[in-house]
Structure 1
Amino acid sequence: MSMHVNEYIHYDVQELAELIKNHQVGAEEVLRCAQERLYQVNPSLNAVVTDCFEYAHQCLAKMKGNEPYYGVPLLVKDLGHAIEGIRLTEGSRFFSKNLAETNSDLINKLIALGFVPFAKTNTSELGLSCVTDSNLFGPCRNPFDTMRTAGGSSGGSAAAIMAGIAPVATASDGGGSIRIPAACCGLFGFKPTPGLVPSGPWVDEAWSGMATSFILTRSMSDAIALFKNVINPMRLNRLSRKKKKLLITELTGAFAEVPIARECQEAVEKIKEILKNSGHRLNEVHLPLDLQVISSCAHTLIAASTYAKVKTQEQISGRKPMIHELEPITWEFYYRGKMVSAYEFIIAKNKLYQSLRPLHQLLEKTDIVLTPALAQLPLLIGHLRIDEEFNKYLQKKKEFSPFTSLFNQGGLPAMTVPVMFHHHLPVSVQMGSAKGNDLLLLELAHELQSVLPKNITPASIP
């Protein structure tokens, strides 16, 4: 049976897998639809930057056909997620000639489940920006409004899924890089507790444990199912599960200096009403956090990681980067990282932990904390520029996304959930919990999905 691309774009992961399993459509036909959709919409979005169709067909030919997700097309973020023999650019001119020698552990895991990698998605350089707009590839555009950003650094993955190129893509999150694009593109975005999702074979704790990998999907049910399939089963059994009714605490006070758009706060009020009507308890807490100290410590750790990553590439390539091969923001982190001593690194890590103690202590008393996902609607492309003066760039970044990075810095699971649309743009909220409470969050998301907006294919693209 053949499948038309207009049908393909509406199926989620589990629906496609079921159709293939029941021989209602062939895996090669599904892959053809994915390729066709890529050709249709990518010129408008710039979500996909490298295709690997030949690899996809070879991968499909090697599969047994009885894998749980056999034949489902997979997009792969072009940052830290390697496909053997395919370029791994990290969104950077300096890394753009790299060919991956082996698959990342996460990619091997997904292939073993039957997923078929067929293209790589746009990302910011080294994942340092919360918008996807690199010198190497240019801006990734939002499917709801192509004059606006898809968010970053997993913007290509989010835009491609929302546009129907594939129902699933890998993503990573070191300061909101799964949740910000998900919020911009109207998707469910989940950042797991660090250490649950395979990150090898090159790194164990990216960005000193602040960054972790996972996937983005069109449906919450897909994200929940894949989380349970991707992580180690023994670790899954140790995770906390949902209580019948939860105490959910809205965080206030710590972000008072950041203006929050009316629509973003309206989404919080709307989800609070939904949660209350579902029988959950709600309260508010003024959390005494020194965000300036927290950000300073986190930037020290990120700078050290950036310096190490660029230095490793220097050793691989046998040369130093030319000035145009790294973006100004990356150079700033590189030079700052070069100056970080071992003593300063450890002090920054310890001070970060100490500064976040109020949040950890709160999560001993409450089940879930609630914030807006973003402080503004998706930014117009060019508002946050990679050639900005460093402190001005950081200020603009904070004004757009002040909420997500706390959960990276604290090593906590968190999710963004689309709640409403303002005109044609999605608006989301963020919920986080204590370490290991991943299933608590995911099962709440599952409960909410019946009363939240359904994903639609954006009207602004074909």
Structure 2
Amino acid sequence: MVSNTTGLSAAGLARRIRDRDLAPSEVVEDHLERIRERNERTNAFVTVTDELAREMAADAERALEAGDPLGPLHGVPVAIKDLDDVEGVRTTSGSLLFEDRTADADSPFVARLKEAGAIVVGKTNPPEFGLGTTTDNRVAGPTGTPFDPDRVAGGSSGGAAAALADRLVPLAPGSDAGGSIRIPASLCGVYGLKPTYGLVPNVGRPNGFASHTPFSHEGPMARTVEDVALSLDVMAGTHPRDPFSVPVTDDYRAAVDRPIDELTIAYSPDMGVFPVEPAVRDVLEEAVTELERAGATVDEVDPDLGHDQAELLDAFYTMATVRWQSLFDTLEDQGFDPRGADRDRLRPYLVDLVLDAETPTTREAAQADVVRTTVYDGLEDCFEEYDLLATATLATTAFAHGEEPETIDGVEVEPLRGWVLTQPYNFTGHPAASVPAGFVDDLPVGMQLAGPRFADADVIAASAALERRRPWIDRYPA
């Protein structure tokens, strides 16, 4: 049974805590208890920070008693993906190499969440180093969707999405270099936003410039659009150590209540190049109809990305392989030997994907950027006529662990990534969200809503309009 506090949104909890209707310690204990009771189902958490959470709750209560200024997330539990750092807490990155590593400082957005009053209750499960469209590793094992734990939660923010959908926590940010926020959001039926590139700072070291290929984003995830908007208001903004960070351009929480009567939305379930299962298309058709009923103008279009699915995937792997192999150079600088003595400590999947991959030439890397430019221009052509583009997030619903699809609607696809429609927006840096759109056989389907760079508020406004017309909050497992 869901308790009064674990069933509440982050915004609802923050309001009741400010009104002294709830105490932070009560809220934290409810969530810690639910994690203890439920985490075994999905394996969403790698680490539960009971002691830290109770200390932070006590500090939050003292601030209330003293009448101190309160942040917008005061007393609200949050879980942090185990690729990101929380001071004094281990960050395993899903790898045996870092099974016992403890962070000595907070990641920038984590520091901002803490400053806003959020309370860290634990770390959520990723695949090793975040490389994967499903979540599994040799530290904690696989994560399943709460709708059917025998099926995948997606990756790489699979633990975050599962924790949200199972009401273990109301906020759980993720990261996204190829769909890692949107893929699990779709498979777990939660709302996840990959913001405009640079809006949420990502301070990578030792190479602060590595994340530009492909674009790697930090972003909020939650069960409600309001909670994501509230989180983005907290997380966004420039940072002196991120050379790509950009200023905040909107009040994102205010966008939740914005009407969408003047928005024009292009609708292409398959983006013109991706196979999509018919049952997923049917759900999307119903969802875009609700956007029309909410006031938006919707036209079905066929955007021209300039390349077929195989060419897009080849370009992604070329760019990603450069970045991934540099990760192993960094590991060597840290004293590991991933190409030799420590190779057996890595997942075979990772060895096949990165270490045994042929290193792209500089010419091939440059050609991948040409493909990326064509995709960018194709999307910009669409955004010259329309405010947003609506597509499927994924071509299918959650599948059983280890049974990645080899065909979609009768078309052969690359099993690891051939069923996702998220990577084009990592080429381009446009904001893109996965919005719960409906269900197929009781498994969630996500709609991907994207807009021009810095149109995050429009994406949020349309997402909130769909949430009002087609609410999903009562569809989560009990």
Per the TM superposition, whether the score is higher than 0.5 is yes
What amino acid does structure 1 have at the position aligned with 2:415? K
For residue 436 of structure 2, give the secondary structure of its aligned residue in structure 1: strand
Rounded Cα–Cα distance in structure 2 between residues aligned with 1:457 and 1:351: 40
Which of 213, 217, 238 aligns to 2:222? It is 217
Greater CA drift, 335-344 or 444-453: 335-344
Q: After the TM superposition, which residues 132-147 of structure 1 pair with which residues of structure 2 at under 5 Å, given as runs? A: 132-147=135-150
By how many angstroms is 1:45 displaced? 0.9
Shift of the 439–156 alpha-carbon distance from structure 1 to 2, 3 Å rule, reads same
The answer to whether the Cα contact below 8 Å between 1:142 and 1:185 also exists between their aligned partners in 2 is yes
Shift of the 458–277 alpha-carbon distance from structure 1 to 2, 3 Å rule, reads closer
Which of 73, 79, 88 aligns to 1:85? It is 88
The answer to whether the Cα contact below 8 Å between 1:207 and 1:305 also exists between their aligned partners in 2 is no
By how many angstroms is 1:27 displaced? 1.0
Greater CA drift, 332-341 or 450-459: 332-341
Rounded Cα–Cα distance in structure 2 between residues aligned with 1:441 and 1:269: 18
For residue 121 of structure 2, give the secondary structure of its aligned residue in structure 1: strand
What amino acid does structure 2 have at the position aligned with 1:186? G
Greater CA drift, 136-145 or 64-73: 64-73
Q: After the TM superposition, which residues 244-255 of structure 1 pair with which residues of structure 2 at under 5 Å, given as runs? A: 244-251=261-268, 255=272
Shift of the 223–208 alpha-carbon distance from structure 1 to 2, 3 Å rule, reads same
What amino acid does structure 1 have at the position aligned with 2:23? G
Which of 273, 291, 300 aligns to 1:275? It is 291
Does 2:74 align with 1:58? no
TM-score, normalized by length of structure 2? Answer: 0.86
Q: After the TM superposition, which residues 24-43 of structure 1 pair with which residues of structure 2 at under 5 Å, given as runs? A: 24-43=21-40
Rounded Cα–Cα distance in structure 1 between residues aligned with 2:95 and 2:404: 18
Gaps of 5+ in 1: 386-392
By how many angstroms is 1:40 displaced? 0.6
For residue 89 of structure 1, give the secondary structure of its aligned residue in structure 2: coil
The answer to whether the Cα contact below 8 Å between 2:135 and 2:159 also exists between their aligned partners in 1 is yes
Gaps of 5+ in 2: 65-69, 239-245, 406-411
Rounded Cα–Cα distance in structure 1 between residues aligned with 2:449 and 2:231: 20
Does 2:419 align with 1:400? yes
Rounded Cα–Cα distance in structure 2 between residues aligned with 1:338 and 1:398: 18
By how many angstroms is 1:273 displaced? 1.4
What amino acid does structure 1 have at the position aligned with 2:34? R
Shift of the 151–430 alpha-carbon distance from structure 1 to 2, 3 Å rule, reads same
Does 2:236 align with 1:236? no
Match of 2:178 in 1: 175
The answer to whether the Cα contact below 8 Å between 1:143 and 1:159 also exists between their aligned partners in 2 is yes
The answer to whether the Cα contact below 8 Å between 1:124 and 1:131 also exists between their aligned partners in 2 is yes
Greater CA drift, 171-180 or 247-256: 247-256
Match of 1:288 in 2: 304
Which of 422, 431, 451 aligns to 1:433? It is 451
The answer to whether the Cα contact below 8 Å between 1:253 and 1:287 also exists between their aligned partners in 2 is no
Measured against aligned partners, the alpha-carbon deviations of 1:16-43 in whole angstroms (never above 9, x if no partner) come to 1122222222111211111100001001
Aligned residues with identical type, % of pairs = 27
Rounded Cα–Cα distance in structure 1 between residues aligned with 2:362 and 2:120: 39
By how many angstroms is 1:48 displaced? 0.4
Measured against aligned partners, the alpha-carbon deviations of 1:117-157 in whole angstroms (never above 9, x if no partner) come to 12100111222211112233221011111111111111101
Shift of the 457–54 alpha-carbon distance from structure 1 to 2, 3 Å rule, reads farther
What amino acid does structure 1 have at the position aligned with 2:441? H
What amino acid does structure 2 have at the position aligned with 1:210? F
By how many angstroms is 1:172 displaced? 0.9
Greater CA drift, 155-164 or 310-319: 310-319
Rounded Cα–Cα distance in structure 2 between residues aligned with 1:159 and 1:253: 26
By how many angstroms is 1:219 displaced? 0.9
TM-score, normalized by length of structure 1? Answer: 0.89
By how many angstroms is 1:256 displaced? 4.9
Shift of the 159–252 alpha-carbon distance from structure 1 to 2, 3 Å rule, reads closer
By how many angstroms is 1:194 displaced? 0.7
Measured against aligned partners, the alpha-carbon deviations of 1:359-404 in whole angstroms (never above 9, x if no partner) come to 222222211111112111111112139xxxxxxx970134422x11
What amino acid does structure 2 have at the position aligned with 1:329? Y
Match of 1:349 in 2: 369
Which of 297, 307, 329 aligns to 1:311? It is 329
Greater CA drift, 105-114 or 306-315: 306-315
Rounded Cα–Cα distance in structure 1 between residues aligned with 2:139 and 2:159: 14
Rounded Cα–Cα distance in structure 2 between residues aligned with 1:359 and 1:309: 30
Which of 96, 100, 104 aligns to 1:101? It is 104
Does 2:80 align with 1:76? yes
Root-mean-square deviation (CA, aligned residues, Å) is 2.6
Match of 2:169 in 1: 166
Q: After the TM superposition, which residues 327-342 of structure 1 pair with which residues of structure 2 at under 5 Å, given as runs? A: 327-335=347-355, 339-342=359-362
Rounded Cα–Cα distance in structure 2 between residues aligned with 1:8 and 1:183: 24
Rounded Cα–Cα distance in structure 2 between residues aligned with 1:444 and 1:344: 38
Q: After the TM superposition, which residues 183-202 of structure 1 pair with which residues of structure 2 at under 5 Å, given as runs? A: 183-200=186-203, 202=205
What amino acid does structure 2 have at the position aligned with 1:246? L
Rounded Cα–Cα distance in structure 1 between residues aligned with 2:96 and 2:7: 35
The answer to whether the Cα contact below 8 Å between 2:125 and 2:160 also exists between their aligned partners in 1 is yes
Rounded Cα–Cα distance in structure 2 between residues aligned with 1:366 and 1:432: 11
By how many angstroms is 1:438 displaced? 0.6
Rounded Cα–Cα distance in structure 1 between residues aligned with 2:263 and 2:476: 34
Rounded Cα–Cα distance in structure 1 between residues aligned with 2:191 and 2:274: 27
What amino acid does structure 1 have at the position aligned with 2:283? A
Greater CA drift, 291-300 or 190-199: 291-300
Aligned length: 447
Rounded Cα–Cα distance in structure 2 between residues aligned with 1:257 and 1:408: 16
By how many angstroms is 1:338 displaced? 7.5
Which of 445, 452, 463 aligns to 1:445? It is 463
By how many angstroms is 1:343 displaced? 5.1
By how many angstroms is 1:314 displaced? 2.3
The answer to whether the Cα contact below 8 Å between 1:149 and 1:184 also exists between their aligned partners in 2 is yes
Measured against aligned partners, the alpha-carbon deviations of 1:306-347 in whole angstroms (never above 9, x if no partner) come to 111222122223444523222233223433678345554344
The answer to whether the Cα contact below 8 Å between 1:248 and 1:368 also exists between their aligned partners in 2 is yes
